[in-house]
Amino acid sequence: MKKLGARSTTNDVLQGKDLTGRTVVITGSNCGIGFEAAQALAGAGARVIFACRNIEKGQDALSRCQVLHPQSSLSFYPLDLASAESIKQFSEKVKDEPIDTLICNAGLMATTYQETQEGLEMTVGVCHFGHFLLTQLLMPQLLRAKEQSGNDPRIVMVSSESHRMPAKLNFNKFPLNKSNRFSPLTAYGQAKLCNALFANELQRRYGDQGLTACSLHPGALITTRFGRDSGFLSLFFKLVSPLTKNPNQGAATTVYCASHDKSDELAGKYFSHCKPVRSTKEANNPETARKLWEVSEGWGKGLNDATESLLCTA
């Protein structure tokens, strides 16, 4: 196997690997690095559950993956991470699946102030809180994975080098609201910092129960649909695209973290270019991670009784 690095592909990462028996949920898997990770893992034998907001695009992604890997085992269920009710419905639909790997890949960078159905700033609401609630609801299944399938449970958070800005998570302005001066980059930086903090806190809370959690940076300025509502950002990404990773290369680190054999080499670490790298001091601050967890649980208390009941038992 050749040495992995910045230009490695998912095929490079999965060379010689057989993931038969694994069941993987991937959010935002209808396009970009999410789709590339999904099809690569399916091609290596994993059962893949596509979790996407848009039903038509999610079903199309599943069909495209089936064409690439005719023998693969695939399912699609709609999931809107901006809606607690949708997250609850998704968790109920997959409750009988022996899920052992959750890849929190979906994300966005809202260029104007928007809110989720629960009234949270959209970027943090989707990238962090939606994944926080989803993870809590799926946690019982993940922790049963070892006895059901023999596979150690794993959670992979797709973060970003944008987690370095802001340097500190200011809970007085988190998430941003209408009274704050909204900045798309600040909101995105908050969300990606939360992804890294969440992975680390998951490792601290559930590591002794066999769970492995890690976070990663997929690569700088990968071709994505970020800034889809901004002509300037869309043009900028198009101009710099020849200098960046393609989606399959961008998915390589996600696939590496999802498939690497040695869990102890992943636990609580942050990855880039298929290798561990140093994240920020704040991302590794256990007090910030603990407070973020408590704040996130507090948001959950405002949900409807059914969702709240599920959250409290997760």
Sign of the four-CA dihedral 306, 100, 251, 248:
negative
Whole-number pLDDT of residue 230: 57
Return the H-helix or E-strand segment holding 13: helix 10-14
- Between CA 82 and CA 91, with CA 86 as vertex, the angle to 5 degrees is 120
pLDDT at 111 over 60: yes
d(CA 74, CA 76): 7
Q: Tens digit of pLDDT for each residue in 209-221?
A: 999 999 999 997 5
Residue 311 has pLDDT above 90, yes or no: no
Greatest CA span in the chain, whole angstroms?
A: 53
Percent of the chain with pLDDT over 70: 88
CA 310 remoteness from chain centre: 21
126 burial type by CB count under 10 A (0-12 exposed, 13-18 middle, 19+ buried) = buried
Domains of the chain: 10-306 (3.40.50.720)
Res. 1: pLDDT tops 70:
no
Report the run of H or E that residue 271 belongs to, with start and end. Answer: strand 270-272
- Residues noted as catalytic: 188
pLDDT band at 149 (very low <50, low <70, confident <90, very high): confident
Terminal CA-to-CA distance of the chain, rounded, Å?
40
Render pLDDT for 71-82 as a digit per residue (tens, 0 to 9).
999 999 999 999
CB atoms within 10 A of CB 209: 11
Q: Does pLDDT of 306 surpass 70?
A: no
